[in-house]
Structure 1
Amino acid sequence: MDELARRQVASIAEVVEVTGTAGMPVWLRGGWAMDFQLGAVTRPHLDVDWYCWRDDADRLAALLLARGWLPDPRMPVETQLDLVVGDVEVSFAYLGRDRAGRPTVGGGSWAGAPLPAGMLDAPSGRIGTLTVPTISVAAQIEFKQMYPV
């Protein structure tokens, strides 16, 4: 694992610690989620992608900003929370809920659109001793297939 990956894993551990203490659920998504489901770092990653409930985003930002994270001024806040710490970039895409409590897109032009069934029901992933909530592998694949749309 290279040095950037070590710092990214440290940021993942920090997010898990902060959100766990605050009772705020988050789910790893993207390449790091796949690596945690596989149990090993499989490739270099540009950033760390998460999901959080839109209602928790302001509190989450405040907790991480108090620990030295900074807002990423390049990114719009309507669709996700983007923060940096050193050379580590993290994003928290917002989740909403429909009337039945199922997860939906939580912000931006697709707000309210349904997300894949069972997406948040995956077992946690693990690399070494670090265990992290992730979205389901099936949802990851569905997103990759839908990406051009």
Structure 2
Amino acid sequence: MGTPGTNKRVQDVMHQGAECIGEHDSLRMATQMMRDLSVGALPICGEDDRLKGIITDRDIVIKCCAEGKDLDRMTAGELAHGLVWTESGSSLEEALQMMAQHQIKRLPVLENKRIVGMVSEADLAKELPDNKLAEFVHRVYAPA
């Protein structure tokens, strides 16, 4: 993938101040947080305040609701997947490559091993020329 036409870093385009769901919190709490924050994904943090994974609204629907599991009993930690993240000082190119490689649309951003934000495909899309955006979308949405 070529270099986007910018020297911006992830910290320049991310949504700052991502709120975590606790790894022992219920999926119902996760859905309520998503609703209240108007987001489709939440980072999952442990009692040590460290990132354990990420949970999406789609994860909850597919892996809990569709399987008849209880939103009040199943925890966010049970659905924690893919501890994939980037540093706030990373280049947009590095973030794009990581998202494409893992076929993910949201990426937690860390600074000094603590979560400081989230970067999404929409955040990055605003910074890409059309041809790079098309290439990125193809790589993220291509069948695994």
Which TM-score applies when normalising by structure 1?
A: 0.28
Higher Cα Rg, which structure: 2
**Taking CA–CA contacts closer than 8 Å with sequence separation of 6 or more, which of the two structures ends up with the larger relative contact order?**
2
Relative to the length of structure 2, the TM-score reads 0.29
